[in-house]
Amino acid sequence: MIQRGAEAVFTDEGMAEIKANIDYYRENAKIIMAALDEIGIKYVGGKNSPYIWLKCPNNMKSWDFFDFMLKEVNVVGTPGAGFGDKSDHYFRLTAFGNKERTIKACERIKKFLQPQP
């Protein structure tokens, strides 16, 4: 049974479904990157990866930024601290989500992380 499922992935139809999924998440990544670009937040990733890494603002530690994002912005990401000490001032967003929710999250990110004049 498992082998039949694996075989289906490599059919033309299976490959088309995989490509459609990859394209969907790449579009989400583009939405996130465009939002970050719009407000001048530097990031890495997102082009060939569903993950977008940004430096936490104001030298915040990643868990503090996580709390801010969760409580104030209503957006969840992954604190960099989970990836080691060198990552504690970074935060990871993911493109693995629903497009509409990604757009709404980006609107909130732009509102709350927009640099103040």
How many structural domains comprise the chain? 1
For residue 24, give the CATH number of its domain: 3.90.1150.10
SS3 93: strand
Phi, psi for 97 (deg, rounded to 5): -155, 180
pLDDT digits (tens, 9 = 90+) for 5-44: 777 778 889 889 999 999 999 999 999 999 999 999 999 9
Model-level pTM?
Answer: 0.89
Range of 37's domain?
2-113
What token pair was written down for 99?
């497009």
